[in-house]
Amino acid sequence: MLDWLPPSISTVGGEIDKFFYVIYYITTVVFFLVAGTMIYFLIRYRYKEGREVKYTHGNTTLEIIWTVVTLVALIVLALVSKPLWSKIKQELPPSSTVVQVTGKQFNWEILYPGPDGMFGTEDDYQIDNLLHVPVNQVVHIKLKALDVIHSFFVPVLRLKQDALPGREIMMWFEANKPGEYEIPCAELCGFGHSGMLGKLIVHSAEDYDAWVKSTWPEN
Amino acid sequence: MSEAAAVKDTPIEHAHQGFLKTYIFSTDHKMIAKQFLLLGLVMLMLGGGLVMLLRWQLAYPDKPLPLIGISETYMETGETETAMDRYWDEQFSKPEKEQSWIATRMPAGVISPNFYNTLFTMHATIMIFFVVMPILVGCFGNFLIPLMIGTRDMAFPVLNMLSFWVAVVSGVIILIGFFVPGGHAATGWTAYPPLSADPTWTGVDWGQNLWCFSLIFLGISSMMGSINYITTIINMRAPGMTFMRLPLTIWSLFIVAILLLLALPVLTSALAMLLFDRMAGTSFFNASGGGDPLLWQHLFWFFGHPEVYVLILPAMGIGSEILSVFSRKPIFGYHAMVYAMVSIAGLGWIVWGHHMFQSGMNPALGTTFMISTMVIAVPSAIKTFNWLGTLWGGNIQFTVPMLNALAFVSMFVIGGLSGIYMASTPVDIFIHDTYYIVAHIHYVVFGGSLFGIFAAITFWFPKMFGRMLGSKLGKIHFWITFAAFNCTFFPMHILGVGGHMRRIANPLQYEFLQQFEGLNIFITMSAFTLGMAQLIFIFNVFYSMFKGKKAEDNPWKANTVEWTAATPPPHGNFAEIPTIYHGPYEYNAPGIDEDYLPQTSQATIATDGNGKQ
């Protein structure tokens, strides 16, 4: 099943995948243990006229063991998940590149602040659905929504964040492989939800400079 | 139980009443149970039918449906070839307002994007609120509570009748929604505003309003039902039926009634706010007016998560019951099972935020909800281990109800384990809103609740209708369903891992989802098989109801009190209110000649077992 994961091109993608693998291996083992035990019991104790049945109402020691083991395993999983979650969603590593992305029915409106680095000035550049970013650099996204809730989803970055009308949500990513990738909307946003699709263009350092030069030629 | 013993035993004398009082406005809990069952089965076919259309679109996006769609010749040359071609020709020549119901939703037999959204919205709404709840809670709650606790009827029979008829009103309202201009609700069963709060965003006007009204009525119906269940279980247990002698089915229904009583008012208030936003210009959920879209999500999921347990707890109770009966063995860890259900009911109130990890809620809360969510997995694990313990050392009979109960256990295990992925917040970032979630919910609600429903119907059918359910057809239905179910829903995990979003009408619009076209076709074919197999079940139920073999009073040799009643039980259930001497699961008890010991039997168990009851 793991082969189906899309390639990961972000600095945190590999770490998320690692958690995925760990949970995958644990749950697969647990499943086969439970299913195997069940199938064994079903065969071993299938109906036979006059079979001696174990008359028991349970076993307190067993109950305590499997409760505590499950509880500890799950709490540990939660605790080890926490730092990565905080790193992705609660921390904001410094960056000089910030882009505003606004979800609207049914496009991603991308706003670049231009060379002055400030939104709302004359050198802002706005375009639908094309998100240009440099490779190997932290990029900040200021996420907004115009009308209804959308969800900014980049499978290869393992990044997803709902865009809410009335709020600005800051998030970040660092792509480590140039290329063109899809940005679908992951939250139902109306009849055009299917097909609401932006494009993430991760440029190599030179390409990014070239794109900046062609977009703001006078600077 | 002094208060239970103090209940006055007034035999019900008006057993012979007119047709209307017997079959329509009945106050007999058993008739009301059958009415809920009929409602649920009819809605099951509707909810299943909707999803067949949806699966067609996902496998063959934007292709005309077979039979009703236009032909290829017509598409290529414009020449009408079939009768449907002529029909479509005629429809297209009319102005849009005069076109038929089908033509406005599926022009030329192709499912329109808005109708697609209606399909998944109504599939979920109908399956959750009009199939699983009416059957598990409405039907089996009604049928089993008085019979299993040994009393004559519910505490408030008239309220019980009202509860059903209000549910019918709610069902009629939801059906009318399909025929109003603008189409039915199309914002998902979760109806997130602002999308659902303003008709401008969807073009759906009265459809969404009726959806709200319908669920408000259903909330009232559930409220009446749950008050009745709680009162009946607390006050009307037969003498000797202590809480710790209650069958686990009754425990589960008791807990569910409490959850419904506390959770539904939250949904009702949220729906009222949504209606105000839609119709009166308020801004509860509208940011530009000072409201907050996230408020809805908090309210909805504060109701929604206990609701998930409302759907699964009765199936857990029923599964335990059947596993014990057909293993001919006491349930393993009865007390642990009860405490597990009680703790699910408690923890169920503090996990709602796990539906909102990516919603924009403060991410610090994500960690809190991750921990509570991990903890709530523990009682479910305890139950699973105890089910295995029940099978261990038994004498297992593979009857139709047992097969369905075993499927329930194993499918619930998959549904439970897949939940752990989402509970881990970093992994959820990727799989949230993908088919992974769709796979998970169907393993819980179909694999869990619906197999629980099949188990319950096949198990109690003899007592309900006085006839045996055909076991050959029952087995055929079970095996096809079990195989087709797994072929339908297991591959959805793979779609989810590949990043396939839920609620998209056309996966082929995305480059990274092209590779899943074949898998989507396979899923659709499996879903069609799954749907067809349910017709076998429906046929079996209605055929056996009239033509089945006459059932004896206790065909499964089970212990619980309902099997001591006549078959089918008359008005008032018991000739005399029974007295209870044992727990519900004393199978193969030492010192007893038979391999079962009815709760009403006065025989004593030799004390070399380690039982406490």
Residue-wise pLDDT for B276-307, tens only, equals 999 999 999 999 899 999 999 999 999 999 99
Measured between beta carbons, the chain B residues lying within 8 angstroms of A55 are 329-330, 587-590, 609, 611
CB of A51 within 8 Å of any CB in chain B? yes
**Neighbour-count burial for B399-421, b at 16+ CB within 10 Å, e otherwise:** bbbbbbbbbbbbbbbbbbbbbbb
Whole-number pLDDT of residue B14: 54
**B7 φ/ψ sector (left φ>0, alpha ψ -120 to 50, else beta):** beta
Mutate to test the interface with A, among B429, B437, B596 (most CBs of A within 10 A): B429
CB neighbour list of residue A65: distance below 8 Å, 6 or more residues apart: none
Q: List pLDDT tens digits, range B596-613.
A: 999 999 999 887 545 444
The average pLDDT across B78-103 equals 89
**Contact state of A184 with B287 under an 8 Å Cβ cutoff:** no
* Residue A185 distance to chain B (closest CA, Å): 8
Whole-number pLDDT of residue A12: 96
Confidence at B213, pLDDT banded by 50, 70, 90: very high
CB of A68 within 8 Å of any CB in chain B? no
Nearest to A6 among B366, B394, B498 (CB): B498
Q: Is A86 exposed, middle or buried (0-12, 13-18, 19+ CB in 10 A)?
A: middle
CA distance A29 to B14: 59
* Residue A217 distance to chain B (closest CA, Å): 33
**Contact state of B588 with A55 under an 8 Å Cβ cutoff:** yes
Give the closest residue to B484 by CA, choosing from B24, B48, B12, B30. B48
CA distance B308 to A138: 40
List, as ranges, residues 22-51 from B with C-beta within 8 Å of A: none
Claim to verify: residue A79 and residue A131 sit in the same structural domain:
no
* Residue B5 distance to chain A (closest CA, Å): 27
Task: Output the six-digit token pair for B107.
Answer: 């022009």
List, as ranges, residues 175-234 from B with C-beta within 8 Å of A: 186-188, 192, 194-195, 201-203
The average pLDDT across B581-594 equals 93
Identify the residue whose tokens are 């007119």: B18
**Contact state of B512 with A89 under an 8 Å Cβ cutoff:** no
Claim to verify: residue A81 and residue A188 sit in the same structural domain:
no
CA distance B467 to A48: 26
Q: What is the CATH number of domain B25-62+110-547?
A: 1.20.210.10
**Contact state of B409 with A38 under an 8 Å Cβ cutoff:** yes
CB of B432 within 8 Å of any CB in chain A? yes
Claim to verify: residue A117 and residue A197 sit in the same structural domain:
yes
Claim to verify: residue A41 and residue A74 sit in the same structural domain:
yes
Name residue B398's amino acid.
F
Claim to verify: residue A48 and residue A120 sit in the same structural domain:
no
CB of A173 within 8 Å of any CB in chain B? no
Whole-number pLDDT of residue B613: 40
Measured between beta carbons, the chain A residues lying within 8 angstroms of B194 are 147-149, 165
The average pLDDT across B538-562 equals 96
Domain range for A27 is 2-90
Whole-number pLDDT of residue B96: 84
Measured between beta carbons, the chain A residues lying within 8 angstroms of B394 are 41, 45, 53-54
Whole-number pLDDT of residue A160: 97
Q: List pLDDT tens digits, range B413-452.
A: 999 999 999 999 999 999 999 999 999 999 999 999 999 9
Measured between beta carbons, the chain A residues lying within 8 angstroms of B363 are 85-86, 89-90
**Contact state of A70 with B430 under an 8 Å Cβ cutoff:** no
pLDDT at B64 exceeding the cut of 70: yes
Whole-number pLDDT of residue B13: 55
CB of B427 within 8 Å of any CB in chain A? yes
Q: List pLDDT tens digits, range B451-508.
A: 999 999 999 999 999 999 999 999 999 999 999 999 999 999 999 999 999 999 999 9
Identify the residue whose tokens are 């992305």: A101
CB of A166 within 8 Å of any CB in chain B? yes
List, as ranges, residues 570-609 from B with C-beta within 8 Å of A: 587-590, 595, 609
- Residue B137: phi, psi to the nearest 5? -90, -50
DSSP letters along B138-206, please? IIHHHHHHHHHHT-SS-S-HHHHHHHHHHHHHHHHHHHHGGGSTT-B--STTTT-TTTTT-GGGTS--H
Mutate to test the interface with B, among A105, A168, A188 (most CBs of B within 10 A): A188
CATH number at residue A63: 1.10.287.90
Claim to verify: residue A132 and residue A110 sit in the same structural domain:
yes
**Contact state of A15 with B414 under an 8 Å Cβ cutoff:** no
Claim to verify: residue A101 and residue A209 sit in the same structural domain:
yes
Claim to verify: residue A104 and residue A20 sit in the same structural domain:
no
Task: Output the six-digit token pair for B181.
Answer: 């201009």
The average pLDDT across B205-219 equals 97
pLDDT at B4 exceeding the cut of 90: no
Whole-number pLDDT of residue B63: 94
**Contact state of A86 with B367 under an 8 Å Cβ cutoff:** yes
List, as ranges, residues 463-502 from B with C-beta within 8 Å of A: 493-494, 497-499, 501
**Contact state of A81 with B426 under an 8 Å Cβ cutoff:** yes
Claim to verify: residue A129 and residue A195 sit in the same structural domain:
yes
Assign B69 to helix, strand or coil.
coil
State how many domains chain A has: 2
Could you tell me what percent of chain B has a pLDDT over 90? Answer: 89
* Residue A11 distance to chain B (closest CA, Å): 13
Of A35, A58, A90, the position where a domain reaches its end is A90
Claim to verify: residue A132 and residue A86 sit in the same structural domain:
no
Nearest to A194 among B424, B505, B590 (CB): B505
**Contact state of A58 with B335 under an 8 Å Cβ cutoff:** yes
- Which residue is closest to A38 within chain B, CA to CA? B388
Could you tell me what percent of chain B has a pLDDT over 70? Answer: 96
The average pLDDT across B525-551 equals 96
List, as ranges, residues 306-325 from B with C-beta within 8 Å of A: none
DSSP letters along chain A, please? -GGGSPP--BTTHHHHHHHHHHHHHHHHHHHHHHHHHHHHHHHHTB--TTPPP------HHHHHHHHHHHHHHHHHHHHHHHHHHIIIII-----SEEEEEEEETTEEEEEE-TTTT-TTSTT-EEEESEEEEETTSEEEEEEEESSS-EEEEEGGGTEEEEE-BT--EEEEEEB-S-EEEEEEB-S--STT-TT-EEEEEEE-HHHHHHHHHHHSTT-
Whole-number pLDDT of residue A29: 97
Measured between beta carbons, the chain A residues lying within 8 angstroms of B509 are 194-195, 197
Whole-number pLDDT of residue B611: 46
Claim to verify: residue A67 and residue A31 sit in the same structural domain:
yes
ipTM exceeding cut-off 0.90 for this assembly: yes
Lowest mean per-residue pLDDT among A10-24, B65-79, B202-216, B316-330: B65-79
Claim to verify: residue A86 and residue A101 sit in the same structural domain:
no
Confidence at B76, pLDDT banded by 50, 70, 90: confident
Check if the beta carbon of residue B449 is closer than 8 Å to that of residue B407: no
Q: List pLDDT tens digits, range B375-401.
A: 999 999 999 999 999 999 999 999 999
Whole-number pLDDT of residue B1: 38
pLDDT at B352 exceeding the cut of 60: yes
CATH number at residue A168: 2.60.40.420
> pLDDT under 70 in chain A at which residues?
1, 219
Whole-number pLDDT of residue B81: 85
**Comparing B528 with B73, which gets the higher pLDDT?**
B528
Q: What is the mean pLDDT of chain B?
A: 94
